[in-house]
């Protein structure tokens, strides 16, 4: 039996990128990709350090109390619970308004509108996403708030027996409802654009099948298009929510910031939001210690939005898989 | 529609008399379940079908054959009002189902689509539903009430020739079935709403030969109780499954029309038109 010749293994991986241009291009991309991660890590560390200091000096009550007395007395007390809760409450109000509107809009564009009208509406709605939030804030302050106070007055008058429509002060200005409404206007373009995209990809053969079984548009949507696009639509909602949680300046214009917790009275003139706390306090900080507390608040807002995005991804992946 | 009207509206065909003869011959074979009279079809400004007259006798299989792009699929979609769902669609003439024009203003298209079911080229079960769910989906989606769901599932899957293969896994996802099984599942789904007519648009073109034979057996079996119209590109299939055949043809950029129709044995054995002879012998198309 002849001995086989010795094998010489050659590494082909490197051969594939031996072209010089490719090599430079690949390295460039790799560096760019890691830069993004580095920036994210940098922000997290910068804010995290502040958070650690805040927690060590204030204890966990920083997260679970609602007082903010930093420049008075010897013992500064700070807690952001009311602001964290406020951010969530405003976002929920925004979602309650934005989700149905966005879904109806995208269904109209995809299934009902004549093609040209659909295209115009798509462009206009996408443009809405490009409005700077300071413009929206000014608009909401000067144009939305006055009529919205009337709406809230009527809500309170006729539906005041429902706890969320209680108002004891008689002041309907700067309420979570108005702030949530502004957030909804910011979320609508995002959610609409994602759901329109997803609904438009409903396989035509499934729509055919539903039509051939005598479906109305409504039953087709309910049993075919919406289940098919559920993952994507939830993802779009979460993207909108991500924007809402971090929104700062537009809310600063229309929300009356109160360092207290407003659990449910959405048309009462008091509210909170972490981002707004930061922007409202930043200009008049009493010293480095308070500045540090604000950075710490920013850290928890950052963690919150990251968590929303992670959850969104999980939901999208999970529903996406069960559809296949 | 009277014979006189028929003559007056069909005069743009060169061989009206032959067509009419065939048409009348067919009418004499038994009760007509479904019938199209002078159906012309447009997409926007483009006319794609011209004066189609075909009668479908009750409980028979009619094959629609012809080269691609001659309007067969479009035609079949006019028979249960699916055509009108395409933007810019228009139609002239009438489609009589059990003697009544399905395009009359007082007719509910949903009702028509439930009576005249449809099976498409590509198997299209609902992927998020189970096998059982798919069979019953027609009832659910149309809001039709029928009791004894388990019996319906067994009955229709048996008629579609799929029961033995899936009876132990009715609650698994429809997407796990093979293409041929999915197509038979779709047939079962169409049968669950108890249609009188089943339209099939190239139901086997995406399937392997074994699955194709199974579907053909199913078609023969079903035709004892319902009327079937099938579009096919497969000449052998037309011979194997159909009682009647209509041959469609379209010149380039011209609307399609029926060249010849009659009992399948005549169309394939002794066609009267040279173009039919050429087509069924595979000389073009």
Distance from CA of B3 to the nearest CA of A (A): 33
For residue B80, the chain A residues in CB contact (below 8 A) are 212
Checking if the pLDDT of B285 tops 70, the result is no
pLDDT digits (tens, 9 = 90+) for A51-70: 999 999 888 888 888 888 88
ipTM value for the complex: 0.77
Measure the CA–CA gap between B139 and B142, rounded to whole angstroms. 5
With CA atoms as reference, the chain A residue closest to B198 would be A212
Report the residue of chain A nearest B135, measured CA to CA. Answer: A213
Dist CA A113 CA A284 (whole Å): 51
CB A256 within 8 A of CB A269: yes
**CA closest to B186 among chain A residues:** A209
DSSP string, A176-218: HHHHHHHHHHHHHHHHHHHHHHHHHTS-HHHHHHHHHTT--HH
Distance, CA of B39 to CA of B95 (rounded, Å): 7
Cβ separation of A324 and B82 shorter than 8 Å? no
Average pLDDT estimate for B151-157: 93
The per-residue pLDDT for range B43-62, each reduced to its tens digit, is: 989 999 999 999 999 999 99
**Confidence class of residue A287 from pLDDT cuts 50, 70 and 90?**
confident
Q: How far apart are CA A178 and CA A183, in angstroms?
A: 9
Chain A nearest-CA distance from B11, in A, is: 34
Q: Which residue in A211, A212, A216, A231 has the most chain B C-beta atoms within 10 A of its own C-beta, making it the best mutation to test that interface?
A: A212
For residues B205 and B199, what is the distance between their CA atoms, to the nearest angstrom? 15
Which burial class, exposed, middle or buried, applies to A240 when counting CB atoms under 10 A from its CB (0-12, 13-18, 19+)?
Answer: buried
* Band of pLDDT at residue B75, cut at 50, 70 and 90: very high
Q: Which of A212, A224, A228 sits opposite B118 (nearest CB)?
A: A212
Residue B230 CB contacts under 8 Å (≥ 6 apart), including other chains? B61, B62, B63, B64, B199, B200, B203, B219, B238, B241, B242
Q: DSSP code of A6?
A: P
Residue B16: per-residue pLDDT: 54
| Residue A7: pLDDT band with limits 50, 70, 90 | confident
Residue A126 Cα, gap to closest chain B Cα (Å): 25
Please report residues of A whose CB lies closer than 8 A to that of B117: 212-213
Q: Look at A191-195, A213-217, B68-72, B259-263 and tell me which has the smallest mean pLDDT.
A: A213-217
Residue in A207, A208, A244 with CA at minimum distance from that of residue A227: A207
Residues of B engaging A, defined by a Cβ cutoff of 8 Å: 80, 82, 85, 87, 109-111, 113-114, 117-118, 120, 122, 124-128, 137-138, 140-143, 175, 186, 189-190, 193
Fold type of domain A81-323: MetI-like fold (1.10.3720)
Does the structure show a pLDDT above 60 at A144?
yes
Q: Which residues of B touch A228 (CB under 8 A)?
A: 127-128
- Alpha-carbon distances, residue A201 vs A110, A228, B137, B167, B233 (angstroms): 10, 9, 21, 33, 29
CA gyration radius, chain A: 26
The residue ranges of DSSP E strands in chain A, in sequence order, are: 68-69, 77-78
Partners of B140 on chain A (C-beta within 8 Å) are 223
The encoded tokens of residue B50 equal 């011209």
pLDDT tens-digit profile of B207-224?
888 889 989 999 999 999
Residues of A with CB under 8 A from a CB of B: 114-115, 203, 205-206, 208-216, 219-220, 223-224, 227-228, 322-324
Q: Is the pLDDT of residue B15 over 70?
A: no
For residue A110, the distance in angstroms to the closest alpha carbon of chain B comes to 13
Render pLDDT for A172-205 as a digit per residue (tens, 0 to 9). Answer: 989 999 999 999 999 999 999 999 999 999 998 8
- Report pLDDT for A4: 65
| Residues A37/A279, Cβ–Cβ less than 8 Å | no
Contact assignment for A223 to B137 by CB distance below 8 Å: yes
CB contact under 8 A, B138 and A213: yes
Give the distance from residue A321's alpha carbon to the nearest chain B alpha carbon, in angstroms: 10
Write down the pLDDT at residue B20. Answer: 61
> What tokens appear for A294 in the block?
């604000």
- d(CA B102, CA B113) in angstroms, rounded, equals 10
Of B200, B185, B275, the C-alpha closest to B233 is B200
List strand residue ranges (DSSP E) for A12-139, in order: 68-69, 77-78
CA of A308 to nearest chain B CA: how many angstroms apart?
26
Q: How far apart are the first and last CA of chain A?
A: 54
Assess contact for A267 and A177: CB atoms under 8 A: yes
Does residue B116 sit in helix, strand or coil?
strand
DSSP state of A223: I
**Given a cut of 80, is residue A30 above it in pLDDT?**
yes
């Amino acid at each position: 039996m002849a001995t086989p010749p010795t094998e010489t293994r050659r590494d082909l991986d490197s051969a594939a990128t031996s072209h010089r241009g490719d090599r430079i291009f690949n390295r460039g991309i790799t560096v760019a990709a890691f830069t993004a991660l580095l920036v994210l890590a940098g922000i997290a560390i910068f804010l995290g350090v502040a958070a650690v200091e805040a927690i060590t000096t204030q204890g966990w009550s920083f997260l679970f109390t609602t007082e903010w007395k930093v420049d008075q007395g010897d013992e500064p007390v700070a807690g952001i619970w009311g602001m964290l809760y406020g951010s969530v409450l405003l976002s929920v109000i925004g979602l309650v308004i934005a989700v149905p509107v966005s879904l109806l809009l995208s269904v109209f564009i995809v299934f009902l509108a004549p093609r040209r009208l659909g295209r115009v509406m798509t462009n206009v709605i996408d443009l809405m996403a490009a409005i700077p939030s300071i413009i929206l804030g000014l608009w909401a302050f000067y144009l939305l708030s006055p009529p919205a106070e009337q709406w809230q007055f009527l809500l309170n008058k006729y539906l005041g027996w429902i706890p969320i429509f209680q108002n004891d002060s008689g002041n309907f200005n700067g309420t979570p409802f108005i702030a949530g409404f502004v957030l909804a206007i910011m979320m609508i373009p995002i959610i609409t654009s994602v759901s329109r995209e997803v609904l438009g990809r409903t396989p035509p053969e499934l729509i055919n099948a539903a039509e051939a079984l005598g479906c109305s548009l409504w039953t087709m949507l309910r049993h075919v298009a919406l289940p098919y696009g559920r993952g994507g639509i939830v993802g779009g909602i979460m993207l909108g929510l991500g924007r809402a949680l971090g929104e700062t300046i537009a809310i600063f214009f229309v929300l009356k910031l109160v360092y207290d917790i407003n659990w449910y009275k959405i048309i009462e003139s008091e509210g909170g939001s972490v981002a707004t706390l930061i922007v409202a306090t930043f200009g008049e900080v009493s010293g480095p210690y308070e500045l540090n507390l604000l950075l710490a608040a920013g850290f928890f807002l950052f963690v919150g939005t990251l968590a929303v995005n992670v959850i969104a991804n999980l939901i999208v992946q999970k529903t996406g898989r069960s559809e296949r | 529609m009277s014979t006189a009207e028929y003559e007056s509206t069909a005069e743009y065909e060169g061989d009206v008399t032959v067509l009419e003869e065939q048409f009348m011959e067919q009418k004499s074979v038994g009760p007509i379940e479904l019938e199209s009279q002078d159906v012309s079809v447009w997409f926007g400004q483009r006319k794609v079908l011209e004066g189609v007259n075909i009668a479908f006798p009750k409980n028979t299989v009619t094959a629609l054959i012809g080269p691609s792009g001659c309007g067969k699929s479009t035609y079949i979609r006019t028979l249960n009002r699916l055509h009108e769902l395409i933007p810019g669609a228009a139609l002239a003439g009438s489609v009589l189902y059990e003697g009544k024009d399905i395009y009359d203003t007082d007719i509910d298209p949903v009702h028509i689509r439930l009576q005249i079911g449809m099976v498409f080229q590509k198997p299209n079960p609902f992927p998020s539903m189970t096998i059982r769910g798919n069979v019953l989906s027609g009832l659910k989606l149309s809001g039709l009430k029928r009791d004894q769901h388990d019996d319906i599932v067994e009955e229709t899957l048996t008629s579609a020739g799929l029961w033995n293969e899936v009876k132990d896994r009715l609650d698994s996802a429809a997407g796990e079935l093979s293409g041929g099984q999915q197509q038979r599942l779709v047939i079962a789904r169409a049968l669950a709403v108890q249609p009188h007519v089943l339209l099939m648009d190239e139901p086997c073109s995406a399937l392997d030969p074994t699955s194709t034979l199974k579907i053909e057996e199913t078609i023969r079996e079903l035709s004892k109780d319902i009327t079937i119209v099938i579009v096919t590109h497969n000449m052998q299939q037309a011979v194997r499954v159909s009682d009647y055949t209509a041959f469609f043809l379209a010149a380039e950029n011209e609307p399609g029309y029926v060249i010849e129709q009659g009992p399948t044995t005549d169309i394939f054995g002794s066609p009267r038109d040279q173009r039919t002879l050429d087509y069924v012998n595979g000389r073009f198309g």
